[in-house]
Amino acid sequence: MVLNIKEPIEESFQIIGGNFTQAGEASTRLKHALFELGVDEKIIRRITIATFEAEMNVIIYAAAGRLHYYITPDSITVKIDDMGPGIENIELAMQEGYSTAPDWVRELGWGAGMGLPNMKKNADIFKIDSVVGEGTTVEMVINFP
Ligand SMILES: Nc1ncnc2c1ncn2[C@@H]1O[C@H](COP(=O)(O)OP(=O)(O)O)[C@@H](O)[C@H]1O
Ligand SMILES: [Mg+2]
């Protein structure tokens, strides 16, 4: 599928750490944009799951962050970067079920340790970079097949 757009479409959202009432706002806006563009529903689901998990991680772990998406006729790139504690051991953080979420976050239903693995599973290209004490950047590309 190739999207019939003349120019790339991009947008940025601020994400505030700890603001659970805003949870999912950026990924929901992106989901609606993709529906309007007529993107295949299965692809929208993959993009939305991956984006939502990344957005939640900023809300849960970081002070603040930003979500940026860039849509071309044949793919979408979503980049989420934050100012936060960073991740000491990325390999460990990527393992299914690994979570450092505090109890109060678990009580809200988060902290299953599946966010990063699900981002990787749903993205065609998944990159994560982190500097302890500075922040984390996740970049995902999903192709429109
Ligand atoms: N943006 C981030 N900033 C700091 N730590 C993070 C970030 N994203 C993930 N982590 C770390 O990686 C772990 C695993 O993340 P994830 O797979 O999304 O599971 P969960 O959020 O349920 O713990 C988190 O518990 C946390 O320790
Ligand atoms: Mg998570």
Give the span between the Cα atoms of 138 and 118, in whole angstroms.
Answer: 13
What is the model's pLDDT at position 45?
A: 98
Which token pair is 11?
Answer: 């947008």
How many angstroms does the Cα of residue 1 sit away from the middle of ligand 2? 30
* Spans of all domains in the chain: 9-143
Q: What is the pLDDT of residues 54-85, one digit of tens each?
A: 999 999 999 999 999 999 999 999 999 999 99
* Residue 69 burial by Cβ neighbours in a 10 Å radius (0-12, 13-18, 19+): buried
What's residue 105's pLDDT? 93
pLDDT given at position 145: 86
Residue 53: per-residue pLDDT: 98
For 9-143, give the CATH class.
alpha beta
Q: How far does the centroid of ligand 1 lie from the alpha carbon of residue 29, in Å?
A: 23
Q: What are the strands of the beta sheet with 125-131, ordered from one edge?
A: 9-16, 64-72, 75-83, 135-143, 125-131
Residue 105, number of CB atoms within 10 A of its CB: 17
Which regions in the chain score pLDDT beneath 70? Answer: none
Q: Please check whether residue 33 is in contact with residue 137, taking contact to mean a CB–CB distance below 8 angstroms.
A: no
